[in-house]
Structure 1
Amino acid sequence: MFGIFLDTEANGLDPKVHRLIEVAYTVIDLLTGTEISSYHSVIFQDEKTFEKSNMESLKVNGFTYDEVKKGKFEKEILKDILVNFKKFKLSNENAIFICQNPSFDRIFLSQIVDVETQNLENWPYHWLDLASMFFSISMKNYKDDKNFLPWEIGLSKDSIASFYKIPKEKKPHKAKNGVAHLLLCYKTIVGFPCN
């Protein structure tokens, strides 16, 4: 089974108004922790689209129009991702997405790879999130040792990282850094059973 560790950045939070401006993922063998493939790109958006940006979102991800105007076009990104998924035969039968915030990542990624295409390509259907993994493990452990409850720690990736004494993610938040940090947290919390 493969994990597609994915992160995206957009110029806001509303997928009806805002657009994807960065995508990154790393495909990992979930048994061994071996990296199979990775992808990263900034995505071109025109000035009119970028002017609709939510300033708070741009504070978080640090993107400027100068960076975004140098990105790849959405159709190129679509082609790159489809070719990569086909090359490694990633499908609903052998892969899952793992994100920090899959509800955000999935809806914005669908701007590039629409749901119909995802279905036709038999893309993974399951989108798992790190916070739920941490929550489940913490609740199970609390049953045994009464040490802490997950909401006492917090469910943000940085809160989880701090609890495990992992460095916080580099700022500003970029998708490529987000994937690397997500992988580090996953390895620490869940691990790879054959590694």
Structure 2
Amino acid sequence: MSSNIARLLLAFFFAMTTLALPTPSTTSDLNTVPLNGLPAPGALSLEYITLGVGTQNYSCSAAGATPTAIGAVASLYDASLLKPLAKSSLIPSFAAVAYSTHTWFNLPTLGHHFFSAAGVPTFDLESHGFLSAKKVASVPAPSGSINASVPWLFLEDDGREVSRNLKAVYRVETAGGSAPATCSAAGVIEVPYAAEYWFYG
């Protein structure tokens, strides 16, 4: 067992025994993302597992208004070294641990997630790939998730022929990120969140 994996296992053990974290989802196969009702990846191949840490962003027109989603910004940390542990059900609690402890386990940055000026969800994994995406399916975060967690998503290449090496991504095991029910003032609200992003090619 590598020192990196050992360090991560110790972090998981500590977090799960000291924090009230959600019960991990389960995966039955190395290439099977936890779905919670999302479409299966079919013949696509799992390329990367990343930890996304950033903010879900909302616009407020005035105090008392309902916040409007305007995208997200996140750093994507390479958690692919955990692929061999997929059957252990430890991966599904990874984002919750990161969100609750504010630690990213010294994982290397693989890329970034952002929304383009045209509002397109974009994933730039630099030399590893690029995905210009469209939302295909959305399901609520399952019962037992951290409070106010954003939905789980399945996104695919949007057909604009700018994606490279990547065809789809899942946002799963979300922690936080939901907007408040109403705005306290006009402006932009940035709500912290963490999630796992499973990339397929």
TM-score when normalising by structure 1: 0.24
Higher strand share: 2
Greater helix fraction, Structure 1 or Structure 2: 1
